[in-house]
């Protein structure tokens, strides 16, 4: 992570997570699935508290996706702006409205003999009023790990159903 003009100590402090999984599909096919933001709802069907609220039909830079995410009795409205689009290698988004002081996510797609290796890099931090570094490690980090485990199973479910072939 690189500090930017105007960053404060609080906004620079963050946690980086890295997730990898192999999906037995060619990279162009898997990347194409992700270029339709409506497929986020398909991929996350069954994730507790998730609702896709709006999208422009594109993940090109400048496009925004609105989601609602429940966490117990709390409900968060989040808006993500796509900032990176390099088909079929990678794309990325950052939160522009929501609970995080910082949230950036880059999805990388690497061709492998067995299909495509997806590498997700997430850089996040919660603000001090939501628990800061303590909540990063005790709440947000574990929740993101469960989220990516859920997504791993979702790819298998979609492949078995023939939705993602």
Instruction: Examine residue 12 and state whether it is found in any structural domain, yes or no.
Output: no
Range with lowest mean pLDDT among 15-19, 73-77, 156-160, 161-165: 161-165
Q: What is the mean pLDDT of residues 68-84?
A: 95
For residue 33, tell me if it sits in a domain.
Answer: yes
Distance of CA 103 to the CA centre of its chain: 9
Of 10, 52, 22, 11, nearest to 115 by C-alpha is 22
Contact 109, 27 (CB under 8 A): yes
Alpha helices in 44-131 (DSSP H): none
**What's the pTM value of the predicted model, to 2 decimals?**
0.89
26-70, pLDDT tens digit by residue?
999 999 999 999 999 999 999 999 999 999 999 999 999 999 999
Whether 10 is covered by a domain: the verdict is no
Number of domains in the chain: 1
**pLDDT of amino acid 13:** 73
What pLDDT score was predicted for residue 164? 87
Q: What is the pLDDT of residue 91?
A: 98
Task: Please indicate, yes or no, if residue 133 is contained in any of the structural domains.
Answer: yes
User: Residue 137: inside a domain, yes or no?
Assistant: yes
Which CATH number do you get for residue 28? 3.30.530.20
Parent domain of 127: 17-161
Judge whether 99 lies within some domain: yes
DSSP secondary structure letter of residue 88? T
Check pLDDT > 50 for residue 78.
Answer: yes
Q: Which residues pair with 67 in a beta bridge?
A: 52, 78
Our CA angle for 100, 101, 103, nearest 5°, is 60
Residue 12 confidence (pLDDT)? 52
Q: Is residue 104 part of a domain?
A: yes
Half-sphere exposure (Cβ direction) of 127: Cα atoms closer than 13 Å: 7
Is residue 11 included in any domain, yes or no? no
HSE-up of 58 (CA within 13 Å, CB side)?
A: 8
Torsion region of 9: left, alpha or beta (phi above 0 gives left; psi -120 to 50 gives alpha): alpha
pLDDT tens digit sequence for 112-153: 999 999 999 999 999 998 899 999 999 999 999 999 999 999
Q: Tell me the chain's radius of gyration from C-alpha atoms.
A: 16
């Amino acid at each position: 992570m690189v500090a930017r003009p105007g960053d404060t100590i609080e906004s620079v402090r963050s946690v980086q997570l890295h997730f990898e999984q192999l999906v037995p599909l060619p990279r162009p096919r898997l990347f194409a699935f992700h270029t339709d933001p409506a497929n986020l709802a398909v991929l996350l069907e069954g994730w507790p508290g998730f609702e896709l609220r709006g999208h422009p039909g594109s993940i090109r830079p400048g496009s925004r996706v609105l989601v609602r995410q429940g966490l117990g009795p709390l409900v968060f409205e989040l808006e993500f702006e796509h900032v990176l689009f390099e088909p079929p290698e990678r794309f990325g988004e950052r939160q522009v409205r929501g609970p995080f002081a910082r949230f950036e996510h880059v999805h990388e797609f690497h061709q492998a003999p067995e299909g495509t290796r997806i590498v997700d890099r997430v850089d996040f931090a919660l603000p001090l009023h939501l628990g800061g570094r303590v909540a990063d490690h005790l709440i947000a980090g574990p929740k993101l790990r469960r989220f990516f485990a859920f997504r791993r199973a979702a790819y298998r479910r979609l492949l078995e159903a023939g939705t993602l072939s």
